[in-house]
Amino acid sequence: MLSYRHSFHAGNYADVLKHIVQIAILDHLNKKAKPYCVVDTHAGAGAYRLTEEHAQKTLEYVDGIGRFWHKDTIAEIEKYPLLARYIQKIQSFNPTESLTQYPGSPWFSIQAIQEHNIRADQVFLHEIHPTDSGLLSEFVGRNPQVHLQFKDCFKHALGLLPPKQKRGLVMIDPPYEIKQDYQNVIDFVLKAHKKFATGTYAIWYPVVQRYRIEKMQKALVASGIKNIQNFEIGIAPDSDAIGMTAAGMIVINPPWTLMDELQGLMPYLTEKLAGEERAHYKAEQWVGE
């Protein structure tokens, strides 16, 4: 039985980077008036109350989204359109000016297809944890464009590819609670890409033991898949002894604007989220087009 609950971590620095990248991809898909599909392999609960016990126990959100919830950051944020868009979305998700709630990846996708307003858009959400499956189901409610899959994504999601829309995002965000997830992600992406080579893939990873990410990088680079980018924020130097020291996103077939946007944003994001001294960031092209 898996014990990971995202409610302990919602809104942390890793979520900030992940959801900024997700928004950039969804905005890009929304630019064309053609239907698309989002396959979210690890959906979580959909939304998180930051006032509740889990978030209050770790207070991870305070050093994530919380760092942008100060009046003195407003002018700074405006300099970075993608960051401003992300912050506006989180503001719109909160009923008052206080930061009390944080949305999950399903909300960003559902919002995007609402903005796009094309009936053939679809969102598929996988979630395996019984409690979070229930919360996700409550959160989504009845929406004919959103399909809940309470199944192991690594067994089920390949069957959804290629989507009938022939364009879209596959969002892969495992907890890596079981170490097998690192290999599962590689195996899944290689198979998925064979079926849907033109899709955009966004893969989240934590740096707990750097060699595991290097192994993922090697496998992806050696696979022959083209157009792979990597974005990472580190809050401490690599160490095998202190848990997650950095977190990143691997993006296959990114929007053509993503690298420029993030190269502009990453220094500021990293300084805010990690502080200057121990921080690092990456915005790299692993494989060209």
When binding is defined by CB under 6 A, the residue of 39, 113, 148, 153 that contacts ligand SAM is 153
Nearest residue (CB) to ligand SAM, 6 versus 67: 6
The answer to whether 206 and 175 are in contact (CB under 8 A) is no
User: Per-residue contact track with ligand SAM, 100 to 139, x per CB under 6 A?
Assistant: ----xx--------------------xxxx--x-------
Q: Name residue 248's beta-bridge partners.
A: 205, 232
Nearest residue to 110 (alpha-carbon basis) of 142, 133, 84, 155: 142
How many CB atoms neighbour CB 138 within 10 A? 11
Residue 178 CB, nearest distance to ligand SAM (Å)?
Answer: 8
Nearest residue to 120 (alpha-carbon basis) of 32, 51, 46: 32
Name residue, tokens 């790299």: 284
Sequence-separated contacts (24+) of 140-146 with Cβ below 8 Å:
140/46, 140/106, 140/110, 143/110, 145/113, 145/119, 145/121, 146/106, 146/110, 146/122
Residue 106 CB, nearest distance to ligand SAM (Å)?
Answer: 7
Nearest residue (CB) to ligand SAM, 105 versus 253: 105
Is 240 labeled as catalytic in the residue annotation?
no
53: annotated binding-site residue? no
Nearest residue (CB) to ligand SAM, 63 versus 173: 173
Whether the bond between 162 and the residue before it is cis, its omega within 30 degrees of 0, is yes
Nearest residue (CB) to ligand SAM, 4 versus 268: 4
9: annotated binding-site residue? no
Residues 77-94 as b/e (b if ≥16 CB within 10 A, e otherwise) read beebebbeebbebbeebe
Q: Is 158 in the site for ligand SAM (CB under 6 A)?
A: no
Q: What is the dihedral of CA 253, 254, 259, 262, to 10 degrees?
A: -150
User: Per-residue contact track with ligand SAM, 57 to 96, x per CB under 6 A?
Assistant: ----------------------------------------
List interacting residues with ligand SAM (CB under 6 A): 2, 4, 6, 18, 42-44, 104-105, 126-129, 132, 152-154, 173-175
Catalytic residue set: 173
Give binding residues for S-adenosyl-L-methionine as ranges.
19, 42, 105, 127, 173
Give binding residues as ranges.
19, 42, 105, 127, 173
